[in-house]
């Protein structure tokens, strides 16, 4: 964990902007519409747990949080030594075995107690169990007498022998297909998904990443079971992306700008542009042109992009380069489709990105204290955007490529949304291929296994930043967001038989 630096982050808090629903204990987020529960997912066990020794987070009273990055030895990222069970998937393996909310898991049978963190130990136990004729994990539970007691959790049906290691293309393919199926079962008849964080703007993002997930698993092909879902999503996104951002007129933080519409325009362009690669049409091209025009119009005078137009946000700044990377990617896919993209706007954007950066790592912005400090999400997004636009020959594009290759699996060194970091790094890893792609999956194998629930969905997890902030934006965005992001990353390289990958954004048809 990085130490010594204090970060401020504008969190578009569901509690502050929408209000809380009734409290409950339902899977996956406790039954509240926007839960404050930031829980470790225990993968195929079908359970979620909190740090049994941590104090409860302070109640949120504002959308602005301070993040004190202090060194705790990586406890939040490695997993606590004692896991208190909070939620159980109905009819999941753990619930059927008799695990109860409030039980404290202190280890797994055959291994030392969780003295060095619980996540790797549980992932290793799951892989070991999968090799057994009758897969089962024995959990060690804290007893009232101070001694641990054993609870066997049978995993037949939830854990297959050859489906525990996402370093293998066939495993990534199986997980991606399950994720795509889970998403299709939750798509609404109009093509969208239930709104979570961000109103209609957030819903466009959700439908767009789900669309990208279906395309990556081959959903744009006519014979695919997901083709109708893709078409419905594309029509819904094209219709809804024009809707006014729900926060555009709200100024809850001293007159600050909370407009976030650029997230919708950029993700819509990525989805519709990727679909145009597989199933080109005049309508898709027209919709892409609208996205490109909106992104160009919304570009700030400095050359970057904000969450949305309207001036400084709650922290007093405007541009942020995580948005620039997504905008450049969307503009790149629009350009590949034959849309008109303003060359001047692209020049200003490249100048802004490069002025904010150092050593190939893309900084947060050009502001003091935000300049020159790269991370994998921002750099991967901008590198993918440069490539989509055909700027591989630019010197800075090559510098970014080197940074991405070195740092491709450092998703925990990112900021704000762990899944956003994972998504961008994972697509970039697929684009790079070779050793960086292998390293990405070697380093994230445990995370992917533990994120995957028995129902085929992928669930978010705590990390050092969400623990410091007392809130997790991936939880607020919901499991459609997390499932779609993981599905995209699993299928992005199209390595397993039948997967299409991402021809436009990952540039699979192009050589770097």
- Tens of pLDDT, residues 75-91: 889 999 999 999 999 99
Tokens 């055909």 identify what position?
Answer: 390
Q: CATH assignment of 256-407?
A: 1.50.10.20
Query: Given pLDDT bands bounded at 50, 70 and 90, which one contains residue 253?
Result: low
Q: How far is CA 485 from the centre of its chain?
A: 5
Q: Which of 385, 386, 436 is nearest to 407 (CA)?
A: 436
d(CA 339, CA 333): 9
Tell me what pLDDT residue 252 has. Answer: 56
> Helix, strand, coil proportions of the chain in percent (round to 5)?
45, 10, 45
What tens digit of pLDDT does each residue of 112-132 get?
Answer: 889 889 999 999 999 999 999
What tens digit of pLDDT does each residue of 190-226 get?
Answer: 999 988 877 889 999 999 999 999 999 999 998 999 9
Q: Which of 11, 5, 7 is nearest to 313 (CA)?
A: 11
Tell me the whole-structure pTM to 2 decimals.
0.93
Tell me what pLDDT residue 35 has. Answer: 53
Measured distance between the N- and C-terminal CA atoms of the chain, rounded to whole angstroms: 32
What tens digit of pLDDT does each residue of 39-55 get?
Answer: 999 999 999 999 999 87
pLDDT score of 68 more than 90: no
Tell me what pLDDT residue 4 has. Answer: 34
> SS3 sequence, 105-161?
EEEECCCCCCCCCCHHHHHHHHHHHHCCCCCEEEEEEECCCCCEEEEEEECCCCCCC
pLDDT score of 69 more than 70: no
d(CA 459, CA 42): 9
Q: Do the domains at 6-154 and 256-407 have one common CATH topology? A: no
Residue 9: its H or E element: strand 6-10
Average pLDDT over residues 287-297: 98
Tell me what pLDDT residue 196 has. Answer: 82
Tell me what pLDDT residue 21 has. Answer: 30
The CATH number, out of the four listed (2.30.42.10, 3.30.470.20, 3.40.50.150, 3.90.550.10), of the domain defined by the range 6-154 = 2.30.42.10
Distances (CA, A) of 109 to 113, 114, 149, 387: 9, 11, 10, 48
Query: Given pLDDT bands bounded at 50, 70 and 90, which one contains residue 36?
Result: low
Both tokens assigned to 459: 């669930």
d(CA 122, CA 450): 8
Cis peptide leading into residue 28 (ω within 30°): yes
Average pLDDT over residues 133-159: 93
Strand arrangement of the beta sheet that strand 83-88 belongs to = 40-41, 47-51, 83-88, 104-108, 136-142, 148-154
pLDDT score of 456 more than 90: yes
Query: Given pLDDT bands bounded at 50, 70 and 90, which one contains residue 316?
Result: confident
Please, what is the average pLDDT of the chain? Answer: 89
For the chain, the structural domain boundaries read 6-154, 256-407
Query: Given pLDDT bands bounded at 50, 70 and 90, which one contains residue 403?
Result: very high
Tell me what pLDDT residue 439 has. Answer: 98
């Amino acid at each position: 964990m990085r130490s010594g630096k204090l970060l401020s982050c504008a969190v578009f808090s569901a509690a502050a902007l929408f209000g809380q629903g009734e409290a409950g204990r339902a899977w996956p987020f406790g039954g509240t519409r926007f839960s404050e529960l930031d829980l470790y997912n225990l993968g195929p066990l079908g359970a979620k747990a909190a740090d049994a020794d941590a104090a409860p987070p302070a109640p949120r009273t504002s959308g602005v949080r301070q993040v004190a990055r202090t060194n705790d030895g990586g406890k939040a990222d490695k997993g606590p030594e004692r896991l208190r069970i909070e939620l159980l998937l109905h009819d999941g393996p753990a619930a059927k075995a008799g695990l109860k909310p409030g039980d404290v898991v202190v280890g797994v049978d055959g291994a030392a107690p969780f003295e060095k963190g619980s996540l790797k130990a549980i992932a290793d136990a799951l892989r070991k169990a999968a090799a057994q004729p009758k897969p089962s994990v024995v959990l060690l539970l804290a007893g009232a007498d101070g001694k641990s007691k054993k609870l066997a959790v049978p995993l037949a049906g939830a854990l297959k022998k050859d489906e525990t290691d996402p370093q293998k293309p066939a495993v990534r393919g199986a997980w991606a297909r399950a994720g795509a199926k889970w998403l299709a079962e939750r798509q609404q008849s109009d093509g969208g998904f239930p709104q979570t964080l961000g109103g209609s703007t957030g819903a466009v993002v959700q439908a767009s990443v789900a669309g990208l997930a279906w395309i990556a698993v081959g959903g744009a092909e006519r014979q695919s079971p997901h083709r109708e879902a893709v078409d419905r999503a594309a029509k819904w996104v094209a219709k809804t992306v024009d809707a006014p951002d729900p926060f555009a007129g709200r100024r809850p933080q001293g007159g600050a700008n909370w407009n976030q519409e650029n997230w919708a325009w950029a993700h819509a362009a990525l989805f519709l542009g990727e679909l145009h690669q597989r199933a080109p049409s005049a309508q898709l091209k027209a919709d892409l042109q609208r996205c490109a025009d909106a992104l160009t119009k919304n570009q700030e005078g400095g050359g970057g992009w904000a969450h949305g137009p309207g001036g400084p946000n709650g922290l007093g700044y405007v541009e942020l380069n995580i948005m620039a990377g997504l905008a450049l990617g969307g503009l790149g896919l629009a350009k590949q489709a034959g849309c008109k993209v303003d060359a001047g706007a692209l020049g200003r954007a490249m100048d802004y990105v490069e002025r904010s950066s150092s050593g190939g790592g893309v900084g947060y912005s050009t502001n003091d204290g935000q300049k020159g400090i790269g991370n994998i999400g921002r750099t991967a997004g901008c590198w993918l955007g440069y490539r989509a636009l055909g700027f591989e020959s630019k010197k800075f594009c090559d510098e970014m490529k080197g940074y991405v290759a070195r740092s491709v699996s450092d998703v925990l060194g990112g900021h704000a949304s762990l899944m956003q970091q994972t998504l961008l790094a994972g697509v970039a890893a697929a684009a790079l291929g070779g050793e960086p792609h292998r390293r990405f999956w070697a380093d994230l194998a445990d995370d992917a296994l533990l994120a995957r629930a028995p129902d085929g969905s992928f669930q978010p997890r705590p990390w050092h930043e969400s623990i410091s902030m007392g809130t997790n934006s991936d939880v607020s965005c919901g499991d459609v967001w997390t499932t779609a992001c993981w599905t995209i990353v699993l299928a992005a390289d199209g390595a397993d038989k039948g997967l299409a990958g991402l021809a436009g954004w990952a540039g699979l048809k192009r050589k770097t």
